[in-house]
């Protein structure tokens, strides 16, 4: 009977739908395990297909191709350690989220996910069938239990595995980031270790997929809940873990314990990685954005440079007669500090042509929001033309405060393929700019030091679509607005909840009204990095036509 068992933990970044590419990554991990003398090489949940697949996995030709790829992978990795990999599994008219154990040239065992998450970004109860509670699988003479992701958050699956002979737990995950989620994961995993008296391996994937970023941070706990190993967040890493048999059962040998950065750094890293992977996995090499001289476009420019390099980012200033000298200087300063290509494209002539075209139709009507929005839509048209001509993906730059209340022009400044700051409130944008100026990390491709001059951060925000315009003309000041939005959006609170926190009912009702009437804009907005459990898109799904208003 073996007294030592080595597991190769492969915290890697798959691409949804890239069966050949994901299988190649699995083979590389297996080869590393073979070279290290591993008994088992483990990859995360649904790794072979990538995750989150949404309805793609229900397409028979897709899940059948994935199963065939798993069978081929088993043959390719026959002479060496067992390989554990997430993959869909179909049988008897049912489709499962499965964890396959490949050894000796075949699919030797399969675990089927029992608890299917059906909240936030997950729809697994609609997509998959629930597998039964089942026992462990064997690798050599060692019996291993693998609760799959959500199964690790419930005691019944781990308890059943322990009662039927599992000697340690390996939990494969496709767990996307939200702020402070690591603490939630660790609390659940400590509970499983203490309840079962078994070592627990929590293995998560990394990488961006649409709005979600899988942040890795895989870790290992011993039966008392003590941390034995901590892998880094966000990085692709292959790590060797040794377990030894003692009189009291298996114990994980202590390994490296990576530093976990604070939430400011993790949020920024998520925005960088989400953009980097969104572009890389969709085939875009270069990005473009309108640089207004304001804080939102400045931080998006910094994120883009950190994600893909200054040589791949184009910024354009598109001034009107309302654009201040201060904004012109601030935009140019940010572009120079970041080292990006910078274009100056005035819109006055185009705006005049559009106004002249519409003049006969608009005769007798006063100027209003229509004329303001023409400026924004003209900028959107010009930026999209540049995107088409140069093959650069246009980034949009609306923060969560603006997205929430519709303070953006549809088919104008909302144009774009991706929005890195879509889930970041304005007040946090200000602080993130300060954080980036003060911090630099090896994963950032942009320059060290101050890249957003203080005036960009400190001046009153303005869309500059009319003379002396300020955001505060139309909205509560951002600290107040964001605090109200935190209650109404992130906490699903009521008007009464806001009033109880000291906000004027009239102000809260106006914000609530803006949230509801802006739903149609959000349905047509670009995807963006998810930073919270209540991001706009899959986390919060509201009808466009909605006549309910909170009377509390």
- What integer is the mean pLDDT of 387-413? 96
Q: Rounded to whole angstroms, how far apart are CA atoms 207 and 57?
A: 19
Q: pLDDT at position 462, please? A: 83
Pairing type for strands 237-246 and 249-252 reads: antiparallel
Whole-number Cα distances in Å, 285 to 394, 442, 453: 12, 21, 27
Contact criterion met (CB below 8 Å) for 127 and 57: yes
- What integer is the mean pLDDT of 118-142? 95
- What integer is the mean pLDDT of 462-483? 87
Q: Is 260 helix (H, G, I), strand (E, B) or coil?
A: coil
Residue among 428, 537, 533, 528 nearest 175 (CA): 533
Burial class (CB in 10 A: 0-12, 13-18, 19+), 281: buried
- What integer is the mean pLDDT of 105-123? 95
In this predicted structure, the answer to whether residue 4 has a pLDDT above a threshold of 90 is yes
Residue among 10, 40, 4 nearest 25 (CA): 10
Of the two residues 462 and 536, the one the predictor is more confident about is 536
In this predicted structure, the answer to whether residue 472 has a pLDDT above a threshold of 90 is no
Q: pLDDT category, 467, cuts 50, 70, 90?
A: confident
Q: pLDDT at position 1, please? A: 66
In this predicted structure, the answer to whether residue 128 has a pLDDT above a threshold of 70 is yes
Q: pLDDT at position 99, please? A: 98
Q: What is the mean pLDDT of the chain?
A: 96
Residue matched to tokens 């100056």: 344
- pLDDT per position as a tens digit, 299-310: 999 999 999 999
Active site residues: 45, 113, 149
Burial class (CB in 10 A: 0-12, 13-18, 19+), 438: exposed
- What integer is the mean pLDDT of 6-17? 98
- pLDDT per position as a tens digit, 283-295: 999 999 999 999 9
Of the two residues 149 and 474, the one the predictor is more confident about is 149
Which tokens hold the place of 552?
């509390």
Contact criterion met (CB below 8 Å) for 241 and 210: no
Q: Which of 116-120, 254-258, 396-400, 467-471 has the lowest mean pLDDT?
A: 467-471
Helix axes 263-282, 426-438, angle to 10 degrees: 90
In this predicted structure, the answer to whether residue 363 has a pLDDT above a threshold of 90 is yes
CATH homologous superfamily, domain 4-260 = Carbon-nitrogen hydrolase (3.60.110.10)
- What integer is the mean pLDDT of 397-426? 97
Q: Which of 23-32, 309-318, 319-328, 382-391 has the lowest mean pLDDT?
A: 319-328
Q: Rounded to whole angstroms, how far apart are CA atoms 330 and 424?
A: 22
Percent of the chain with pLDDT over 90: 96
- What integer is the mean pLDDT of 193-212? 97
**pTM of the predicted model as reported, rounded to 2 decimal places:** 0.96
Q: Rounded to whole angstroms, how far apart are CA atoms 331 and 300?
A: 12
Strand partners, 227: 221
Contact criterion met (CB below 8 Å) for 103 and 133: no
Range(s) within the chain of domains with CATH label 3.40.50.620: 264-471
Range(s) within the chain of domains with CATH label 3.60.110.10: 4-260
| Cβ-defined contacts of 359-362 (< 8 Å, 24+) | none
In this predicted structure, the answer to whether residue 464 has a pLDDT above a threshold of 80 is no
Q: Rounded to whole angstroms, how far apart are CA atoms 401 and 110?
A: 45
Q: pLDDT category, 348, cuts 50, 70, 90?
A: very high
CATH homologous superfamily, domain 264-471 = HUPs (3.40.50.620)
């Amino acid at each position: 009977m073996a007294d030592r068992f080595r597991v190769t933990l492969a915290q890697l970044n798959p691409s949804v739908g890239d069966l050949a590419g994901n299988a190649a990554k699995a083979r590389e991990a297996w080869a590393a395990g073979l070279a290290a003398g591993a008994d088992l090489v483990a990859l995360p949940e649904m790794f072979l297909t990538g995750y989150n697949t949404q309805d793609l996995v229900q397409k028979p030709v897709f899940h059948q191709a994935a199963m065939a790829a798993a069978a081929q992978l088993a043959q390719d990795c026959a002479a060496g350690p067992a390989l554990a990999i997430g993959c869909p599994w179909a049988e008897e008219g049912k489709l499962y989220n499965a964890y396959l154990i490949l050894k000796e040239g075949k699919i030797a065992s399969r675990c089927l996910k029992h608890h299917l998450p059906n909240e936030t970004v997950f729809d697994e109860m609609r997509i998959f069938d629930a597998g039964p509670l089942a026992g462990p699988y064997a690798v050599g003479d060692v019996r291993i239990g693998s609760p799959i992701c959500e199964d690790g958050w419930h005691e019944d699956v781990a308890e059943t595995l322990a009662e039927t002979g599992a000697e340690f737990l390996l939990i494969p995950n496709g767990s996307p980031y939200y702020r402070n989620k690591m603490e939630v994961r660790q609390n659940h995993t400590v509970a499983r270790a203490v309840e079962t008296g078994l070592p627990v391996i929590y293995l998560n994937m990394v990488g961006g997929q649409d709005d979600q970023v899988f942040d890795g941070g895989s870790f290992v706990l011993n039966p008392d809940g003590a941390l034995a190993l901590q892998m880094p967040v966000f990085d692709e890493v292959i790590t060797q873990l040794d377990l030894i048999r003692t009189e009291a059962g298996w114990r994980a040998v202590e390994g490296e314990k990576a530093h976990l950065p604070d939430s400011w750094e993790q949020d920024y890293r998520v925005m960088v990685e989400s953009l980097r992977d969104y572009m890389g996995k969709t085939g875009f090499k270069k990005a473009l954005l309108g640089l207004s001289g304001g804080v939102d476009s400045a931080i998006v420019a910094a994120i883009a440079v950190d994600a893909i390099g200054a040589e791949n980012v184009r910024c354009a200033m598109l001034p009107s007669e309302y654009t201040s000298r201060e904004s012109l200087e601030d935009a140019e300063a940010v572009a120079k500090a970041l080292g990006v290509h910078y274009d100056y494209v005035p819109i006055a002539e185009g705006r005049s042509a559009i106004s002249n075209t519409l003049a006969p139709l608009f005769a007798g009507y006063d100027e209003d929001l229509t004329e303001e929005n023409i400026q924004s839509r003209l900028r959107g048209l010009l930026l999209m033309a540049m995107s088409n001509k140069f093959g650069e993906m246009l980034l949009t730059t609306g923060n969560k405060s603006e997205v929430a209340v519709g303070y953006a022009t549809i088919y104008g400044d909302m144009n774009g393929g991706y929005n890195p700051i879509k889930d970041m409130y304005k007040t946090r944008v200000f602080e993130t700019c300060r954080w980036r100026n003060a911090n630099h990390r090896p994963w950032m491709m942009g320059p060290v030091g101050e890249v957003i001059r203080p005036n960009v951060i400190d001046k009153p925000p303005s869309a500059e679509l009319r003379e002396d315009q300020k955001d505060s003309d139309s909205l509560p000041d951002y600290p107040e607005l964001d605090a109200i939005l935190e209650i109404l959006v992130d906490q699903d609170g009521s008007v009464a909840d806001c009033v109880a926190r000291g906000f004027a009912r009239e102000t809260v009702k106006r914000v609530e009204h803006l949230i509801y009437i802006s739903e149609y804009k959000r349905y047509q907005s670009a995807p963006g990095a998810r930073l919270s459990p209540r991001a706009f898109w899959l986390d919060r799904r509201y009808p466009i036509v909605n006549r309910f208003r909170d009377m509390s």
